[in-house]
Structure 1
Amino acid sequence: ALCGHQEGGGLAAHLLGGGSIASLLSRFGPLSEPVIRLFTRQLLSGLAYLHAQRTMHRDVKGANLLVEKTGCIKLADFGMAKTIAEAVSFTKSFKGSAFWMAPEVIRQQGHGVAADIWSLGCTVLEMATGKPPWAQCATQVQAIFKIASSSELPAVPAALSPQASEFILLCLQRDPAARPSAEALLRHPFVVIQVGSSYM
């Protein structure tokens, strides 16, 4: 379980009844930004740990994030996880869920830890909108084409704070080398817990 500061997150999870983030979104709609912040910080902590072990998750999305009633997040479905050694750092495989896939993965140009960061950005958008990223695309094929062949990014809701918007856009850099590491993103103002902040 990925647990951090639980103020607000535990209450939200208790009220929502637990389950995957995707199932919570389908039942209750978008999450509030304070709850997104808490869940994102926990997810980042988990990714930073995995990446430090030279392991990639390769399928980060709301359906693979389980919320316990305590407000802790569990990163599930490690069936896709690979160590960098196994993957030779750039696995040329087309696996995962297209709406959350990084451009380099769809173009089969390899899959390093930066692809998990792209998927993280897509998952933050999913929590903020209640829908998968690229939800305007009618099919996975259309989404795949848009992700791989255009310079377009998924729309970021105007209601999000500037810090949340910047965080998402940092994750969604089309050049994988330009995406910050999970460790660096843990220091971003969007996820840094401020003493005395209101969480709900």
Structure 2
Amino acid sequence: MAVKRRPEEDRSIEEEMNLPWQRGNQQNQVSERVADTPLMEIPLCHSSQASEEELLAELQETEARIRAREERLEEERRIIEEKFHLLAQQQEALENRVDVLISHLAACEGFQQMPADEEPQGRRQAQIYTGSSIQSAAAAAAAAASKGAFVAQAEQWSRGSLSISSSDTSAAQLQESQGDFVEQLRRMVNKENPVTKYIELESLGSGGFGEVSRALDIATGGEVAIKKINVQGVSRKILTMNEIRIMESNRSPRIVNYLASYLVHEELWLVMEYMDGGTLRDLIDEIQMSEGEIAAVSRECLQGLDFLHSNHVIHRDVKSNNILLRTDGSVKLADFGLSAQLTPEQNQRCSVTGTPWWMAPEVVKRQPYGPKVDVWSFGIVAIEMAEQKTPYDSFTARSAKFHIATEGTPQLRQPEQFSPLLRDFLSCCLQKGEAQRWSAKELLQHQFITSAMPGSSLAPLILAVKKWKEEAGMQQSIYKLSSP
């Protein structure tokens, strides 16, 4: 029996059958419309051109800002250079003023000791110090001849590590010719050729005077240090002759041993024992020393100073760079170029000689002084050992001199970190008045020194520091040479 369908069902079936044809027809219509639509070439081109113009404008603006910034930086640099130049001029002016103030301070202190009818030192004519008062040169000439007084001549100051004035050089020496000095040196030195006696191994340091080398003594097989000094110029010849005389006549276990000297053209070769542990400054730079180690080094140095002072010699340049060490624990004083030999006729000096940061107040103020200036200098070395720097380490040479002349006893930066015994020892070394300052012999009896460890106890420390430096690939500079 056939089923009769309703009209709605017939229409639905018909629509489903026509659906693919309708979809294809719609797609064809869309394709035709797209094909008939013209491309928007002009608007796209216009948009690209606008973008390029905007980018160009931004680039130009950025370049303008960069140029403006560069101009501002250049102007700022110019201003900074002007300020720096001005500060340099002000510093120079201040340093000159410091020198003037120090001179005035010394003159005022001398003026307080003078009779009312005499002029202050330094005015109009040279002055002579006779021990009780300051007289004019003309009035005191006779006294000078009999009492050993000396003229306080004008000082010459150098910005280098060393300074020396002419007042310690006799008039006879200054009048001798270059040839006379060379002949004197030739009479003092060994006659052999040092090139045939020593084999140089390495350079240990150099400076204004020349250089120092480590060498091998062919005859003994031992190591030596050879200090080569350029002796051109009268003042250097005097210093060199002075160093030879002092080292030849003052031999001690606490003094670097002088072996020989040779004159090679315009160079003087000083042959000395080789101190393989470097300088005390090397040690201070590497480690913080204990009080026991400070005491041990201090005893060795004071024994050396006591030996010199007993022989009427002032070192005048005691500092950590001039204290040499051996890996067996030995500690010795070195570098006697600025040393002075006192005599009964001239038992004091007054020249400004040494390295400013270690100078005693009486040296800075150009007052007559004796061996105790070395004690002050060693007191500064003791502070170096305790705190790894001098009290005026950050100051210029002139500023350091001014503070030494005007301030009291230098103090530890952190005194609470050190024992009362060490602080008392430093106080005894650094009394501003020379009369109150202890001598080297007296300091050897101070409890801080008598309780010190033996010198051999320093050997492991010195050896360890040397090993550290060698492992770090650092070339040891054992001798620091500076020109006056």
| TM-score, scaled to structure 2 | 0.36
Q: Which residue of 2 aligns with 1:56?
A: 314
Cα separation, partners in 2 of 1:65 and 1:103, compared to 1, 3 Å: same
Which residue of 254, 258, 269 maps to 1:2? 254
Per the TM alignment, residue 138 of structure 1 is displaced from its structure 2 partner at its CA by 2.7
What is the alpha-carbon distance in structure 1 between the residues aligned to residue 366 and residue 397 of structure 2?
Answer: 16
Q: Answer yes or no: is the 8 Å Cα contact 1:121–1:172 preserved in 2.
A: yes
Q: Answer yes or no: is the 8 Å Cα contact 2:299–2:449 preserved in 1.
A: yes
Q: Which residue of 1 aligns with 2:410?
A: 153
Asked if 1:75 corresponds to 2:333, the answer is yes
Asked if 1:142 corresponds to 2:142, the answer is no
What is the alpha-carbon distance in structure 1 between the residues aligned to residue 356 and residue 445 of structure 2?
Answer: 29
Higher radius of gyration, 1 or 2: 2
**What RMSD in Å do the two structures reach over aligned CA positions?**
2.3
Q: Which residue of 2 aligns with 1:192?
A: 450
Q: Answer yes or no: is the 8 Å Cα contact 2:350–2:366 preserved in 1.
A: yes
Number of residue-to-residue matches in the alignment: 183
SS in 2 for 1:179: coil
Which residue of 365, 368, 371 maps to 1:110? 368
Per the TM alignment, residue 82 of structure 1 is displaced from its structure 2 partner at its CA by 1.0
Per the TM alignment, residue 119 of structure 1 is displaced from its structure 2 partner at its CA by 0.6
Moved over 3 A (4+): none
Per the TM alignment, residue 141 of structure 1 is displaced from its structure 2 partner at its CA by 1.1
Larger strand fraction of residues: 2
What is the alpha-carbon distance in structure 2 between the residues aligned to residue 36 and residue 87 of structure 1?
Answer: 37
Per the TM alignment, residue 144 of structure 1 is displaced from its structure 2 partner at its CA by 0.6
What is the alpha-carbon distance in structure 2 between the residues aligned to residue 120 and residue 152 of structure 1?
Answer: 13
What is the alpha-carbon distance in structure 2 between the residues aligned to residue 63 and residue 166 of structure 1?
Answer: 25
Task: Tell me whether 83-92 or 123-132 shows the greater mean CA deviation.
Answer: 83-92
Q: Answer yes or no: is the 8 Å Cα contact 1:146–1:152 preserved in 2.
A: no
Per the TM alignment, residue 80 of structure 1 is displaced from its structure 2 partner at its CA by 1.2
Structure 1: tracts of 5 or more residues without a match: 4-16
Q: Which residue of 2 aligns with 1:129?
A: 387
Structure 2: tracts of 5 or more residues without a match: 1-252, 256-275, 459-484
What is the alpha-carbon distance in structure 2 between the residues aligned to residue 126 and residue 87 of structure 1?
Answer: 36
Q: Which residue of 2 aligns with 1:23?
A: 282
Task: Tell me whether 137-146 or 97-106 shows the greater mean CA deviation.
Answer: 137-146
What is the alpha-carbon distance in structure 2 between the residues aligned to residue 111 and residue 163 of structure 1?
Answer: 28
Deviations 1:92-147 (A, max 9, x none): 21111111100000001023111111011111001111112322x43111111000
Cα separation, partners in 2 of 1:41 and 1:97, compared to 1, 3 Å: same
Q: Answer yes or no: is the 8 Å Cα contact 1:21–1:66 preserved in 2.
A: yes
Cα separation, partners in 2 of 1:78 and 1:179, compared to 1, 3 Å: same
Q: Answer yes or no: is the 8 Å Cα contact 1:125–1:156 preserved in 2.
A: no
SS in 1 for 2:402: helix
Instruction: Write the letter of the residue equivalent to 2:411.
Output: P
What is the alpha-carbon distance in structure 2 between the residues aligned to residue 154 and residue 87 of structure 1?
Answer: 37
Per the TM alignment, residue 152 of structure 1 is displaced from its structure 2 partner at its CA by 5.0
Per the TM alignment, residue 49 of structure 1 is displaced from its structure 2 partner at its CA by 0.8
What is the alpha-carbon distance in structure 2 between the residues aligned to residue 91 and residue 163 of structure 1?
Answer: 32
Identity of aligned residues (%): 35
Q: Which residue of 2 aligns with 1:39?
A: 297
